């Protein structure tokens, strides 16, 4: 089911939505565009891909897993543990298909037959994704090479495509269809075809996709070649920008904070590029150098994860890691270098 909405009406629709639910949208702030909780007066900024991904909606930077109340010994009471499961709904609007796709990488990890992460599941089930198709690719976009594309609706509830004067909105799920019943949405008419043409044009602009299918095997072949990984990681500074920007990166840390008699177990984003990620209590560290860590990052995304999950690459091709890396490490180049490494050497 398709509808059309003008630019201004989309702003109105979003503002009205923000009064009833939490809305996460790209907002211009401090010279950059990031996803923020929409408050009255904030202007939506759809002009560029937001710098950070919308993964805060399903995987926030911090969340309290549980709290524990201790009691003074004299009181005779024991400790009380309180679970803190998330409540409420979130609407993400204006994310790109690559941002929405993060969920696809999280799902098979956070919800298995045996283990179900209730924090992630509740947030994901309570989240609505109104995704904006891309009009043209950036130099760092390669979603088409990892099984997606500029108008990929997978994981979305509604897909918006920019057309003359506004957006064509296509319902992808029943949740999306319900939202499109709002009076601000009109019949699309010929605009539906215009949207179709725009989406085709955007895909054409991306050119030929790169074939990453040999990456899983080739990366493993290079596992013991530390010279290769030394060279690939030369300019890496081992921060966490790539990981935190990435819509598909899902690693986290669990730490306890204590204040007086109350302690809190906190889950926060963590990154495999940091030195302490695998540091053991004994002092032993299996990944003590940035070369080891870069190898693991590339290996996980293009080799281990696909091997475990039916070939799906744990990368959405959004290119944020390339753009935001202070040193310009290019994940495409690293993986391709492994793919092209001659076998006999």
Partner 1 sequence: MNANPYLPDMATVVEVIEETPNIKSFRLVLNDEEKMRSFSFKPGQVGQLSVFGAGESTFVINSSPTRMEYLQFSVMRVGEVTTRLHQLKAGDQVGVRAPLGKPFPVEDMQGKNILFIGGGIGMAPLRTLFTYMLDTRDDYQDITLLYGARSPVDLTYQAELPDWLAREDVKTVLCVDNEYPGWEHKVGLIPNILLEMNPSPENTVAITCGPPIMIKFTLQALKKLDFADEQIITTLEKRMKCGVGICGRCNIGTQYVCLDGPVFTYAQLKELPSEL
Partner 2 sequence: MSGEVSQLEELKAAIRGQLDSLDCVIGWEQGYDPLHATPLFIRSEADLERLTISPLAVHNPATYATGFKGEKIGLVVRGCHSRSVIELLNEKLIERDEVVLFGLCCDGVVSQRKIRAALPADPGFVEAVELGNDELHITVAGEQATLKLQEVLADKCLHCAYPDPLVADVLIGEKHAPRQATSPACQDAFEALGNEEKLAFWQDTMSRCIRCYACRNVCPMCVCQDHCIATSRDPLWMSQENTPVENFMFQMIHVSHLTGRCTECGECERACPVDIPLMLLRRYMNKQVREVFGHQAGIGLDKTPPLLTFQVEEARIKERDW
**Residue ranges in contact with partner 1 by CB under 8 A:** 65-66, 68, 70, 78-79, 81, 83, 85, 109-110, 112, 115-119, 220, 223-224, 250-258, 263, 265, 267, 270, 272, 277-284, 286-287, 292, 296, 299-300, 304, 307-308
Query: Measured from the CB atom, is 139 or 276 closer to partner 1?
Result: 276
- Paired tokens of 184: 């601000």
Query: Measured from the CB atom, is 14 or 232 closer to partner 1?
Result: 232
47 binds, among partner 1, partner 2, none (CB under 5 to 8 A by kind): partner 2
Q: Burial of 271 by CB count in 10 Å (0-12 exposed, 13-18 middle, 19+ buried)?
A: buried
- Asked whether position 22 contacts partner 2 by CB under 8 A, the answer is no
Q: Which of 43, 62, 112, 200 binds partner 2 (CB under 8 A)?
A: 62
Size of the chain, expressed as the number of residues it contains: 345
- Asked whether position 47 contacts partner 2 by CB under 8 A, the answer is yes
179 binds, among partner 2, partner 1, none (CB under 5 to 8 A by kind): none
Query: Measured from the CB atom, is 163 or 313 closer to partner 1?
Result: 313
Specify which residues 131 forms β-bridges with.
95, 159
Query: Residue 189, by phi and psi: left (phi above 0), alpha (psi -120 to 50) or beta?
Result: left
238 binds, among partner 1, partner 2, none (CB under 5 to 8 A by kind): partner 2
SS3 19: helix
Fill in the per-residue mask, 208 to 247: x = in contact with partner 2 (CB under 8 A), - = not in contact.
-----------------------x--xx-xxxxx-xxx--
274 binds, among partner 1, partner 2, none (CB under 5 to 8 A by kind): partner 2
Q: What is the largest CA-CA distance in the chain?
A: 76
Q: Where are the alpha helices (DSSP H) in the chain?
A: 7-20, 97-100, 102-110, 118-125, 174-179, 191-205, 215-221, 226-233, 241-245, 290-299, 305-308, 320-324, 331-340
Q: Are 175 and 155 in contact (CB under 8 A)?
A: no
Rounded alpha-carbon distances, angstroms, from residue 46 to 31, 160, 201, 210: 14, 11, 19, 28
Q: Binding residues for partner 2, per CB under 8 A?
A: 29-32, 34, 47-49, 51-52, 61-62, 136, 138-141, 231, 234-235, 237-241, 243-245, 253, 255, 257, 266, 268-269, 271, 274-276, 322-324, 326-330
């Amino acid at each position: 089911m398709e509808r059309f909405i003008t630019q201004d009406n989309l702003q109105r629709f979003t503002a009205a939505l923000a009064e009833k639910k939490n809305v996460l949208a790209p907002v211009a702030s401090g010279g950059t565009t990031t996803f923020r909780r929409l408050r009255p007066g904030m202007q939506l900024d759809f002009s560029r891909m937001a710098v950070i991904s919308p993964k805060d909606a399903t995987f926030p930077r911090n969340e309290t897993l549980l709290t524990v109340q201790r009691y003074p010994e004299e009181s005779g009471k024991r400790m009380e543990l309180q679970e803190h499961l998330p409540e409420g709904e979130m609407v993400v609007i204006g994310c790109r298909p690559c941002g929405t796709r993060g969920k696809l990488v999280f799902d098979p990890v956070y919800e298995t037959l045996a283990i179900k992460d209730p924090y992630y599941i509740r947030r994901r089930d309570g989240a609505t994704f109104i995704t904006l198709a891309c009009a043209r690719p950036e130099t760092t976009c390669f979603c088409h090479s990892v099984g997606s594309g500029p108008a990929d609706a997978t994981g979305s509830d509604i897909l918006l495509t920019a057309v003359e004067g506004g957006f064509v909105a296509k319902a992808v799920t029943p949740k999306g269809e319900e939202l499109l019943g709002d009076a601000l949405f009109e019949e699309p008419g010929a605009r539906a075809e215009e949207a179709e043409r725009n989406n085709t044009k955007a895909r054409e602009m991306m050119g030929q996709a790169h074939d990453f299918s040999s990456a899983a095997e080739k990366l493993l072949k290079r596992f013991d070649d530390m010279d290769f990984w030394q060279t690939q990681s030369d300019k890496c500074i081992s921060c966490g920008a790539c990981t935190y920007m990435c819509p598909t990166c899902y690693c986290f840390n669990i730490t306890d904070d204590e204040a007086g008699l109350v302690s809190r177990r906190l889950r926060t984003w963590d990154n495999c590029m940091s030195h302490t990620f695998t540091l053991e209590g004994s002092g032993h560290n299996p990944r003590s150098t940035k070369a080891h860590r870069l190898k693991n990052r590339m290996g996980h995304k293009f080799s281990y994860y696909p091997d475990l999950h039916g070939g799906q690459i744990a990368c959405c091709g959004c290119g944020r890691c390339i753009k935001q890396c202070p040193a310009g490490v290019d994940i495409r180049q690293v993986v391709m270098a492994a793919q092209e490494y001659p076998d006999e050497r």
